[in-house]
Amino acid sequence: MCAMPSTTFWPGPADMRILVADDDATSRLVLKAIATKLGHQCEIVGDGTRAWELLASERFDVLLTDWMMPGVEGPELCRRIREELGDRYIYIVLITTLGDSEQVLEGMNAGADDYLSKPVDPFAVQTRLVAADRVTALHRQVVDIQAQLERANVDATRRSLTDPLTELGNRRRMEEDLASAEARALRVDRSYGVALFDLDHFKLYNDHYGHLAGDELLRQIAQCFDKSVRAGESVYRYGGEEFLLLLPECSIEGALVAAERLRQAVAAAALPHASRPTKPNVVTLSGGVACSTPGIPSSVTDLLHQADQALFAAKSAGRNRVVAAPTRVLALGEVDGRFDDVREA
């Protein structure tokens, strides 16, 4: 039983959420009255089992817990909190009638931050709650700083893998994703494809409009790509005015369709190109497509070389078109030397 002696309450920290766990009804009410008068929110329970249920499901800043009570006793409650609720810090004050210093240390070693002796002194409770507010505030600051650092690391990683001009994936990101696509294709015995694009007559565009306009054009092309790619497809800035489309688990026919979709999106944007030597006087793309062949080992370098050859064929055929590199057919044991192209619309 705890009497509540008269005392003066000084202003202090307010609005912490406090849980009182004590099997003595008078103690519970006294502690709740003290905490409430200090401006805190307070819940009370009569046993350790119910206290643990609330602590595991709701957020509390402070626990004022009796040492001996039904269900989970105070020291065990401390241990559970420290071992299982590591994502938040709860300031624990162990309340006991025991005067043995070794038992007090046992409670502290179990995870308690401080202790109080019964009958509780309201001033002593207030001092513990002031300390609790400071400690929990520091822990919140640490959590906030950790979250900020994690966000900064994520942002730094994203920037390191992003082309600053177009905001597409850069060469580093492209190389990582190509390596992953190749490894997956070998693991599941499937093909993957790439499409290499080049802006038609980009040097003439730069000479006519200026390099700042050329940079803006690259950004607009990237936006066209971003609106046109589908789930699973990824576009990267390959370098200069060249871009690469990665198509995991894709046949050569599917890769042609996907590449043609992007070519048409750029043509449909009708971005003016007054210095273009041939019609139409808008910005267009040429593309070369290549796919790996299941069962026939080939490196990423080989695939990019094939796509580059197909791109050269597209330019030689008049630009503003997509051409597929020849594919090896395992049943025939030879290379089909034919280039298939998708003509301009």
Q: Which amino acid is at 41?
A: Q
CB 233 within 8 A of CB 262: no
Q: Length of the chain, please?
A: 345
CB 106 within 8 A of CB 84: no
- The residue from 241, 260, 334, 344 that is catalytic is 241
CB 246 within 8 A of CB 300: no
249 has catalytic annotation: no
DSSP track, 87-133: TS--EEEEEES---HHHHHHHHHTT-SEEEESSPPHHHHHHHHHHHH
DSSP track, 46-61: SSHHHHHHHHHHS--S
CB 22 within 8 A of CB 66: yes
50 — phi, psi (to 5°)? -65, -35
- Give the N- to C-terminal CA distance of the chain in Å, as an integer: 91
Give catalytic residue positions.
241
